[in-house]
Amino acid sequence: MKQYLGESSSTALIISQRPPNYTADRRERSPPGQPEHHSRSQAKLAGWQPRPHEALRDPLMPRRKLSPNEMYTALVAAAGYLPVTLAGEDYLELLPAVWRQVNAYGIRIGYRTYDCPELGPLRLQHSGITARRGLWEVHYDPYDASHAFIRTPDGWVTAPWTHLPMISAPFAEFTWRHARRLAAEKDIPGA
């Protein structure tokens, strides 16, 4: 694929440039609840993705510039596409990760506590990953806050949310944030 893309890439050039309507005025903010950088990134991609680039050329017609979308389509047409089914462990690898200490009470993510008996030997232990100060790699599903997944030397440990028995409906990360915001507005202690 490198032979088709060439040595130089226009990605860095395009993304580092300011959008045409850039004014350096910080009064224009992203919509509430959305990170400021998210709107700018989306705007850059919306302009970059469909636009032809100097570094992207059709191998059969080298004078024709291609957009990233067109280049992807051309490469799939030339090389084919093989869908690969993900295994359970692959799914866990793709979930967002945080680094946490396994404490006496378990692991805490966003004011939620996850615990199970399998965490017993890991409590207050160094993970062996000095680059992360001995913290443990913990993956979680933002659309299902019922479990957290802790990577150990022996594989994955699934720890349930300690308050899961009190919840009768599916519970996502955004649901949790919304409930905390409502509790804070009503001055409920611990929110």
pLDDT per residue as tens, the chain (191 positions): 444 444 444 444 444 445 555 554 444 444 555 455 555 666 666 777 788 888 888 777 788 888 888 888 888 888 888 888 888 788 899 999 999 999 999 999 988 999 999 999 999 999 999 999 999 999 999 888 889 999 999 999 999 999 888 877 777 778 878 888 888 888 887 66
- Rounded Cα–Cα distance for residues 89 and 155 (Å): 9
Predicted pLDDT at 153 = 92
- Rounded Cα–Cα distance for residues 176 and 140 (Å): 14
**Among residues 110, 95, 86, which one has the least CA distance to residue 151?**
95
Q: Which long-range contacts (CB under 8 A, 24 or more apart) does 92-98 make?
A: 92/139, 92/149, 92/156, 93/139, 95/139, 95/140, 95/141, 95/149, 96/139, 96/140, 96/142, 97/137, 97/138, 97/139, 98/138, 98/140
**Among residues 114, 129, 125, which one has the least CA distance to residue 163?**
114
Q: Token pair 């990605």 is at which residue? A: 11
Predicted pLDDT at 113 = 94
Predicted pLDDT at 43 = 66
DSSP class of residue 34 equals S
- Rounded Cα–Cα distance for residues 163 and 166 (Å): 6
Predicted pLDDT at 55 = 84
Asked whether 117 and 76 are in contact (CB, 8 A), the reply is no
Predicted pLDDT at 176 = 79
Q: Quick one: tokens of 137?
A: 């790699």
